[in-house]
Amino acid sequence: MPRARALAVFPGSFDPVTNGHLDIVRRGLAVFGRVRLAILVNSEKQPLFSVEERLEILREAFRGNPRVELDTFSGLLVDYARKVGASVILRGIRALSDFDYEFQMALMNRRLDPRIETVFMMPAESYTYVSSRLVKEVFQLGGRVSDLVPPVVERRLREKYRGKATRAGASRTRSKRRKR
Ligand code: PNS
């Protein structure tokens, strides 16, 4: 039975969201009243999808689920969690290789605010190898990702890479013209 009022923040890059993330949200909702996916606004990273695009994708992926909230944040995660009244940080752990990084983050966050608890959940085994990075790589190289991401992501990937190919093609044509 979910703790009716507890809010768990699920932070991440979600560039793009995968079925592994969706699985963690589903599991989170079985325990917590609400799950809020919070996209980190990080100017140092070069994401494929802008923050606004990622929010649109999440909106479509979770449409019709009133217990799923969507937001962006910058700065310290614990400050954000405190601000929105979340007592839990939710993260997924796929394999042992995730553990070091997640453990470090969880302990640092606990040091920063001991009242906020990090809860790790494991996705279904079928998603243990799925990551946003691999999805982008496989898709870009022509591989099939339809079982790994929600339909909206596959569509957005197609649009994104078609746009990139067209822009790259156009700039190649322009530079050829310049050379002549
Ligand atoms: O999906 P990601 O990229 O693994 O998510 C990483 C994220 C957003 C959870 C992490 O980078 C984060 O919490 N950043 C906020 C900055 C912060 O609070 N840093 C100190 C805690 S270790």
10-residue mean pLDDT profile of the chain (180 residues): values are: 81 98 98 98 90 98 97 98 98 94 98 98 95 97 97 97 64 43
Count, in order, helices (H) and strands (E) of the chain: 6, 5
pLDDT of residue 166: 53
pLDDT of residue 177: 42
Residues with catalytic roles: 21, 45, 94, 132
Task: Answer for the pair 73, 39: CB distance below 8 angstroms, yes or no.
Answer: yes
Q: How far is the CA of 105 from the centre of ligand 1 (A)?
A: 7
The alpha carbon of residue 144 and the mean position of all alpha carbons in its chain are separated, in whole angstroms, by 20
- In order of 64, 85, 110, 120, the CA distances from 114 in angstroms are 34, 14, 5, 16
pLDDT of residue 164: 75
| Distance from C-alpha of 144 to C-alpha of 38, rounded to nearest angstrom | 28
- Structural domains in the chain plus CATH codes: 3-128 (3.40.50.620)
pTM, rounded to two decimals:
0.90
Nearest CA to ligand 1 atom 17: 76
Single-letter residue type at 151: P
